[in-house]
Amino acid sequence: MITDIASDSAGSEIETAAHQHGYISDKDRYLARMRRIEGQARGIAKMIDDEKYCIDILTQVSALTRALQGVATGLLDDHLKHCVLDAAKLGDEDAAIAKIQEASDAINRLVRS
């Protein structure tokens, strides 16, 4: 059983009963991607410490940015296919609209970041 959001959460979620976040089924894959991203960040810090050429560092920063965007679009896709669709299937249109609004706000932040 999944408890949706821990009590210390920022709590932006609109609750739907017994709902499981979309990405949970792929949790291990997402964790592996984030560990790799963390390693990439550490590698860039090492390049700076070793005083590598700026342009070579920038190439790694671009690669890291793309890896992050891959995680973001994956999470969004899972959110739409699970959180939004589950709300819609429960016939709760207000909840579905609210979740879509959250997704749209997140897309805005991603597209502009």
Asked if residues 21 and 78 have their Cβ atoms less than 8 Å apart, the reply is yes
Hey, what are 109's tokens? 């932040």
Asked if residues 67 and 34 have their Cβ atoms less than 8 Å apart, the reply is no
Asked if residues 24 and 82 have their Cβ atoms less than 8 Å apart, the reply is no
5 interacts with a second copy by CB under 8 A: yes
| Shortest spacing between CB 34 and a second copy, in angstroms | 4
Asked if residues 105 and 14 have their Cβ atoms less than 8 Å apart, the reply is no
Binders of a second copy among 36-75, rule CB under 8 A?
A: 37-38, 41-42, 44-45, 48-59, 61-62, 64-66, 68-69, 71-73, 75
Number of helical H runs and strand E runs in the chain: 4, 0
98 interacts with a second copy by CB under 8 A: no
| Shortest spacing between CB 59 and a second copy, in angstroms | 7
Binders of a second copy among 9-38, rule CB under 8 A?
A: 9-10, 12-13, 21-24, 27, 30-31, 34-35, 37-38
| Shortest spacing between CB 18 and a second copy, in angstroms | 14
Pick the binder of a second copy from 6, 7, 17, 18 (CB under 8 A). 6
Hey, what are 38's tokens? 């963390």
